[in-house]
Amino acid sequence: MTKKKKEKYQSDLPWNFQGICSKLDGIALKLAKEITKYEPAELLRRAFWMNAYQNINGLHEGLSEHDRYNSSQTLEFVQNYLTSLESTLAKRSRLDEKGWAKIGKLVSDFNDYMIPFFILRSKDLQEHSEKYDIKSDELRTLDAMHWWSIRGNSFHVYHMTQLKELLLPQKEIFESVFNYRVEDFLSDLEKIQYSLTFGFGDAITETIDLYEKTVGFEKELSESDEYPTDNEFEIAINKAGTREKSKDAFDRAFGLALCDVGKITNLPSLLLDELSWGTGEDKDFWAAGIYAGWPLRVTPLRKRPFIRLDNRYYCFDLLNLFDNIYRKIENLILQKNPESREKWNVIRKETSEKLSLDYLASMLPRAKVFSPVYFDKLGARKETDGIIIYDDVLIIVEIKSGSLDMGSPLLDFDNHQKKLIELIENPATQAKRFREFLIANKEIEIFDGNHRNSLVLSKLRAESFRKIYQCTVSVDNLTHLTAKARKLAPLGIQVHTSANWSVSLDDLRVYAELFKSPLQFLHFLEQRQLAEESEFVELNDELDHLGLYLQKNNYSRHASELMEGKNPSRIYWDSFTQEIEDYFNKLFTVKDAFHIKPNQEMPEKIRGIISLLEKQEKPGRVRVASFLLDGADNYRKTLEDGILRTLQRQTEVKRLNPFFIGGEMCVSCFCLNQNIKLPNRDWRGNYVKYRLLESGHDDALVLILQFANNKHLTDVSFEFISLGKATIMELERIRLWGERMKSSMTTYHVPTSK
């Protein structure tokens, strides 16, 4: 929303800030009164199944995203209010359609009024705060809105992955506290996940099967093909012994059995009690003060994911469960066994560092990885968590495993800001320190420790690296902020270089799944850096960077072209992650099947060149691949057509027929086979330089492609040729050479744009 539109929207609203707060307080009180009127089990059953039906394929056609969001919000409100409020009624009412509709309407109204709340809050701050800063307020509002409204830090397929990665190394500490195998705990969480995702389908199938078996049994008894009467069916149920099975299947299909943690799992009572709320048990949510009963406070579900009713334990919400369960378990362990804190933190740090480096290394096979790394003189040595070297690219890696505070960013921003600095700014500053030390000293030694007997791991020369990136990884997911880390200065968070890629472990895992080409991954990092530098690109999700890259390639350039001569100065992109989300949903729902990974469209020969560059591992390959990948679709097609045309033409004329693409990205290509030989270096150099003179550009990539007779690419060689240092005499010599050779050159020149 532009500043002008925002101001108009503010002026059109019929309330001031105090008025909208009173409005929301009124809705919250009405909702509290309505929810406490009814039996908790009936409310929860209705809320759970209404939400489930709206998210089952085939049942939610015609429903909007807003409908589905409101349904999930109703389920969350019902749980939060039941666990934080005691009913004052002697007898609760039965839930009818009118009562349920009223609850849904109140939840919808509350959420609808939250947007004007944030807008009027900004207006109120602007009018009454001498230190008001619009950009700071925008970022703080975004942070608070994300905290309030967004659930689900990772894809379903990875819910268990991260827990296994982080908890299995803590096995000894976990089991000493809970007297329960960590593997069993993880298995129980997996059972809950399965029950709340696939359990409904299983229950319906089982119900239908039992019905058909019972009908078949009755027909066999009566020797009739007619369907049984109700009385006959009752007799058949008893004789077939399917009553209990039918009751259980029916309860899972229409009752609360799918959510019954006691039935689904073998979790011990100690853990169940620590992870559960009874009705009215959380006294903080409705305690006196501002925003009582609003989800701008820490909700009960953020603190404990289960609900206890009539000595049964239920879980209704996977997203709140998996968003918070790791930190909840961590906090429980450190409360119950505080002396284990140091050991826990060491294991967590080492585990998160290893995971981060392993995921990065998986995208850069055969890269040199050093971890940890110490640098500077003995006694003054500093540490960085790791470095990765791939061809002429250096990646400095810093990992933070600490947790973000649980508190509301709106109610306790100072503490929240300290944590953001710890998780975003500090690792970027540490990586920057290594980067600047290397550049300032030009050549350094890196060590495996900070003692006299430390071994030299390697010598690094700054000039060896064409690109130096910083990758800072956090265990907690801060994607709405790290997606624009360099633009967080108004929040008091300094990330001083656009070469810093701040990413969560959740998102790093996604990248490792999707990027199977190291050269394409490094090209993405180049484009990601350009996006950080762009005044036109501001994203609220790290995976939008990836989605934009896959669809638009140089997406910062695309943004600049879209905004040429226009206002506002920034583009707030819609989500570009749908294809990515669809892929990971298929991984979760359709197992043991091949799914095509989202990727850029690319001509066959270009993809073949990139693939062979990776296999051959020739020095300089990253620069060459990035040069080729920089090209938009029309450029890639021009290069592909040039290669195919040249192979065909050379077959016809039986001699070399190089081609040159001029324009912003100049490339000269020589296609060889056993009958077409490469001209000597002087001839190649003169040819390329003459073409550069013709096109009015200074630099060109020279590709030398060797093909087998079946046009299969077998070798890629390359060099970059420049006119940059050529003297006037040299340029004249090249021009004369080209004029002499012009009549005999059977080559073509294709001018194109980037």
Could you report the per-residue pLDDT of 466-487, keeping only the tens digit for each? 999 999 999 999 999 999 999 9
Residue 361 pLDDT greater than 70, yes or no = yes
Residue 8 pLDDT greater than 70, yes or no = no
What CA–CA distances, in Å, run from 460 to 24, 141, 260, 377, 537? 60, 44, 58, 15, 34
Residue 748 pLDDT greater than 70, yes or no = no
User: For the chain, what percent of residues have pLDDT higher than 70?
Assistant: 90
Could you report the per-residue pLDDT of 486-496, keeping only the tens digit for each? 999 999 999 99
Residue 219 pLDDT greater than 80, yes or no = no
* 517-528: average pLDDT: 98
Confidence band of 228 (pLDDT split at 50, 70, 90)? very low
What pLDDT sits at residue 248? 74
* 346-355: average pLDDT: 98
Residue 242 pLDDT greater than 60, yes or no = no
CA–CA separation, 96 and 384 (whole Å): 61
Domain boundaries, the chain: 3-149, 156-277+301-339, 344-589, 604-752
Single pTM value for the model: 0.92
Could you report the per-residue pLDDT of 368-381, keeping only the tens digit for each? 999 999 999 998 99
Could you report the per-residue pLDDT of 606-625, keeping only the tens digit for each? 999 999 999 999 999 999 99
CA–CA separation, 357 and 386 (whole Å): 7
CA–CA separation, 316 and 75 (whole Å): 8
Poorest-pLDDT segment among 85-99, 532-546, 575-589, 734-748? 734-748
Could you report the per-residue pLDDT of 634-653, keeping only the tens digit for each? 999 999 999 999 999 998 88
Could you report the per-residue pLDDT of 108-162, keeping only the tens digit for each? 999 999 999 999 999 999 999 989 999 999 999 999 999 999 999 899 999 999 9
Chain-centroid distance of CA 509 in Å reads 8
- What are phi and psi for residue 198, nearest 5 degrees? -110, -10
User: For the chain, what percent of residues have pLDDT higher than 90?
Assistant: 77
Indicate the SS3 state at residue 151.
coil
∠ at Cα 69 (196, 13), nearest 5°? 160
Pick 545 or 711 by higher pLDDT. Answer: 545
CA–CA separation, 262 and 259 (whole Å): 9
CA–CA separation, 450 and 404 (whole Å): 30
Pick 679 or 300 by higher pLDDT. Answer: 300
For the packed helices 17-35 and 97-128, what is the interaxial angle rounded to 10 degrees? 160
CA–CA separation, 109 and 104 (whole Å): 9
Poorest-pLDDT segment among 55-59, 75-79, 332-336, 524-528? 55-59
Average pLDDT of the chain, as a whole number: 90
Residue 241 pLDDT greater than 70, yes or no = no
Confidence band of 740 (pLDDT split at 50, 70, 90)? confident
Can you say whether residue 620 is alpha, beta or left, with left for phi > 0 and alpha for psi between -120 and 50 degrees?
Answer: left
Residue 753 pLDDT greater than 90, yes or no = no
CA–CA separation, 710 and 713 (whole Å): 9
Complete edge-to-edge strand list for the sheet that includes strand 312-314: 276-278, 306-309, 312-314
Assess contact for 107 and 77: CB atoms under 8 A.
Answer: yes
Write out the two tokens for 472.
Answer: 């800072």
For the packed helices 505-514 and 159-167, what is the interaxial angle rounded to 10 degrees? 120
What CA–CA distances, in Å, run from 480 to 134, 332, 387? 18, 28, 26
Residue 526 pLDDT greater than 80, yes or no = yes
CA–CA separation, 480 and 487 (whole Å): 12
Spelled out in words, what is the top-level CATH class assigned to the domain 344-589?
A: alpha beta
For the packed helices 159-167 and 318-336, what is the interaxial angle rounded to 10 degrees? 10
What pLDDT sits at residue 725? 86
Burial class of residue 364 (count of CB atoms within 10 Å of its CB; 0-12, 13-18, 19+): buried
* 655-662: average pLDDT: 91
CA–CA separation, 711 and 96 (whole Å): 73
What pLDDT sits at residue 231? 55
Residue 233 pLDDT greater than 80, yes or no = no
Name 411's Cβ contacts closer than 8 Å, sequence gap at least 6.
Answer: 290, 291, 296, 297
Residue 225 pLDDT greater than 90, yes or no = no
∠ at Cα 80 (78, 81), nearest 5°? 65
CA–CA separation, 705 and 719 (whole Å): 12
Residue 655 pLDDT greater than 90, yes or no = no
Instruction: Characterize the bridge pairing of strands 467-474 and 500-504.
Output: parallel
CA–CA separation, 204 and 201 (whole Å): 5
* 324-346: average pLDDT: 97
